[in-house]
Structure 1
Amino acid sequence: MIRLETQFFNLNKILLLTIGLWPYRQSYFTRLQFIFLSTILTTSLIFQCTPLISQKCTPNFVAKVLSSASFFALFVIKYNMFCINIETMKDLLEQLQHIYNKLKDKNEFAIIDEYRSSVKRCTTVLTLYGICSICALILCSCLLLSEFWSKILDVILPINVSPSRSLPITMEYFVDQETYFYWILLHINVSYCIGATAMVGIGTTLIAYLQYTCGMFKISSYRIKRAVNINTLKNTKLKNGVSTLQEIISAIDIHRQAIRLSKLLVSKIEKMLFCLIIVGVVCLSLNLFQIASYEDNIKEILFPFIFVTICITYMFVANYVAQDITDHNSDFFAAVYDVKWYEAPLHIQKLILFLLQKGAKDFTVGVGGLFVGSLECFATLVKASVSYFTVIYSTQ
């Protein structure tokens, strides 16, 4: 028996194992690993918010602190909420395995293989994207050190002023930051690496799951086309002895399972998705404000630029996958409409007419009844972020 974790989720498995979130490996050591990494990630967010307590708060300062803190909040939300639902994810993966084991012929396996290749490409690209963002942040952290620039300037134009070092992100550890500067910088970089790995690993796992359901939608279209064709209409028996009616029922069954699994996944992570959307819009707005407030100091926009790029990419990918689910569901009913159902026996015609009525309403992936995953939703979120940024900037 072929296991999906080795076919669909092999790279996702590696990413999730590194952060202790692979559903099939939840040992005592894994729990300690999660607690350790979660502590690093959470303390990083806390120390980014402490300047609001220890320093004088002005609107610009608050926006600067929250621009980075909101981005790291995305990491914390996704990492911890996925852990809370890890048993649910394991159950969902087992259900996918059960459906895969019941596929009928080589054409259906070929459809799944097509989506497996698509998932691998997507996971590889997003993993490389995450690695590039980590490298960019670490490189920026090194290049933004005042000491680094001072040494270069000292060669070109010697000065007698001792270099001052500043952190790439505003943070307050309540210790002498000059003494523990490199430890603090290490904490920032390690927490970002953990968060980026979590975002990519969890995100690509959810994408793989939803792409599998897209494959189920396509299999349902294939079954309905195979069931209602010219040869079948001439003889209500297929070559293998299965009746046309049973074949249509099997197509409807896998279509309903695809819808059920999609809804079940979204319902289990709905709170996480809702929090990610709200915090993501806030993060995008504040970092756009930081970029717009650029005043001849390039280090002020490097990190906001990275955060904006990642937020927009993540919003687009999430909504694109949700749009893909809707499109595949519509393709099923388009397939039902295109077959020569009007030449079928009357009892089959009645069944197909019921299907056509069902297709009058689109199936969408929604969150909290407020957000419906689609490319239109992506445009709405970006528009809302730009609108909030405009309001903040106009009141500067």
Structure 2
Amino acid sequence: MIKIYTTLVSQLSCKMHAIEERYYKINQVILKTLGLWPYQQSYLTQIHKVLFAGILLTFILAQLLVFITTQYNINLFLKILSIVFPTLFGTIKYGLFIIQADSIKQLMEQIRNDWRLLQNKLEIDIIEKYAYNSRLFTVTVMAFTLLGASFCGILQLLPVILDIITPLNESRLCQLIVITEYFVNQEKYIYALLLHELIAAFIVIIAIFGTAATIMMYILHACALFKVASYRIENAIEKSVLEISGPRREYLLHHRIVHAIVIHRRAIEFTEFLTSTFMVSYAILIIVGISSLSFNLFQFLQLATLTNNNSEASIFAVFIVTHLIYLFFANYAGQEITDHGIKLFKATYNGLWYAAPLHTQKLLLFIMRKGTINVTIGCGSIFIASLEGFAMVKLKIF
């Protein structure tokens, strides 16, 4: 008996590993690239995180030092802060994943445990569909992220590229798009400073969108749990079961309702834990993100109307579009959670609950009572992630 149990556990572990490799491997690779994968925390990983955090912090410091060495004006202020705030946003997210490593690991463990609770192929198909969407989202986001980063990198390295393709008698002047102060001769050490800028930009971009893809993975898993709960509720009280007479009918109905309540409770607990993990940082990121979008918008308008610097204007246009896309998907994810919670409530209310025994109906009241309060993700009552919230933010900025 023990041997059979050990064999089943081994087979289940192998299946879970295959699922993780299939759907969550890309997120794992991204977090490993950043040194944020919570299952590997060796000394080398610790050095990895310190190095990346140091690059980001020194890049921010190098920009802020300009205010000390250069005479202040509004143009300088806008240009520096339009880069500082996106960098700060990425740095905060990077630090958040370092601080919340245990919580991120716990969320991943719960995903694995939830897969083990599935009872039939239809439920597996439901959760695999959401896992597939998560993988597709991650691949798409990272593809566009790398394309955008490549575009900005090519514009920054354009003089160097032109010197290789069509060389002149003297090298073209290569200037940093980002205004920085390193207290060294920038012309002499231009390539070292350029390397620092490009590495910092790469880390910021991967940190922002890689961690966002991971959070989206968690949110879509929560949506999958609500969907499975809805499926169980819809199929719990069937006419074929109601035709059965005697205690067996009551047992089947009670058994099915209990399993629906279990998966619903896990969905609620998963969502609440996810929200509590990121609530404080979410409030900070909202302030930094909106400020970043505002400064980039002002800088773009200034470049587009007062100067003929089309290359810089195009870079800030990419920044603005990226901000809006990020805001949209962040609020869309919150809307999805809310919609799935409402669908579960409707599935419970529109079912044949009145045909169930009285003690089984009382169990359904737990879901109905929870369903009267929308499941949301956000920062308490200050801001709720939703499409309505996205529209409000967009209107206030524009």
TM-score (normalised: structure 1): 0.89
Is the 8 Å Cα contact of residues 141 and 209 (structure 2) preserved in structure 1?
yes
Report the counterpart of residue 195 of structure 1 in structure 2. Answer: 204
Distance 1:13 1:240 in 2: 46
- The superposition leaves residues 22-63 of structure 1 with CA deviations (integer Å, 9 ceiling, x where unpaired) of 111111111111111111122111112111121111122211
For residues 129-140 of structure 1, what are the structure 2 equivalents within 5 Å? Answer: 129-140=144-155
1:366 equivalent to 2:378? Answer yes
Deviation at 1:151, TM superposition (A): 10
- The superposition leaves residues 93-116 of structure 1 with CA deviations (integer Å, 9 ceiling, x where unpaired) of 112212221221221111111111
Match of 1:74 among 83, 89, 94: 89
Q: Using a 3 Å threshold, how does the CA distance of structure 1 residues 99 and 152 change in structure 2: closer, same or farther? A: closer
1:225 equivalent to 2:234? Answer yes
1:330 equivalent to 2:342? Answer yes
Match of 1:267 among 273, 276, 301: 276
Which moved further from structure 2: 301-310 or 109-118? Answer: 301-310
Report the counterpart of residue 294 of structure 2 in structure 1. Answer: 285
Deviation at 1:280, TM superposition (A): 0.8
1:33 equivalent to 2:33? Answer no
Deviation at 1:353, TM superposition (A): 4.9
Match of 1:24 among 36, 39, 44: 39
Please tell me the residue identity of whatever aligns with 1:139: I
Helix, strand or coil at the partner of 2:87: helix
For residues 234-249 of structure 1, what are the structure 2 equivalents within 5 Å? Answer: 234-235=243-244, 243-249=252-258
Distance 1:96 1:56 in 2: 54
1:168 equivalent to 2:168? Answer no
Distance 1:152 1:355 in 2: 67
Report the counterpart of residue 251 of structure 1 in structure 2. Answer: 260
Count residues with an aligned counterpart: 380
- Name the % identity: 33
Distance 2:246 2:188 in 1: 82
Runs of 4+ in structure 1 deviating by more than 4 angstroms, as ranges, are: 147-155, 161-164, 236-242
Distance 2:132 2:245 in 1: 36
Deviation at 1:379, TM superposition (A): 1.5
- The superposition leaves residues 131-160 of structure 1 with CA deviations (integer Å, 9 ceiling, x where unpaired) of 1121111111012x4x777999997xx9xx
Is the 8 Å Cα contact of residues 49 and 171 (structure 1) preserved in structure 2?
yes
Deviation at 1:338, TM superposition (A): 2.1
Helix, strand or coil at the partner of 1:225: helix
Where in structure 2 are there 5+ consecutive unaligned residues? 1-12
Is the 8 Å Cα contact of residues 364 and 373 (structure 1) preserved in structure 2?
yes
Match of 1:112 among 127, 152, 168: 127
Match of 2:368 among 308, 333, 356: 356
Distance 2:277 2:62 in 1: 30
Report the counterpart of residue 354 of structure 2 in structure 1. Answer: 342
Deviation at 1:359, TM superposition (A): 2.3
TM-score (normalised: structure 2): 0.89
1:87 equivalent to 2:102? Answer yes
Report the counterpart of residue 394 of structure 1 in structure 2. Answer: none
Match of 1:299 among 290, 306, 311: 311
Distance 1:203 1:162 in 2: 41
Please tell me the residue identity of whatever aligns with 2:244: N
Report the counterpart of residue 4 of structure 2 in structure 1. Answer: none
Where in structure 1 are there 5+ consecutive unaligned residues? 387-396
Match of 1:208 among 207, 213, 217: 217
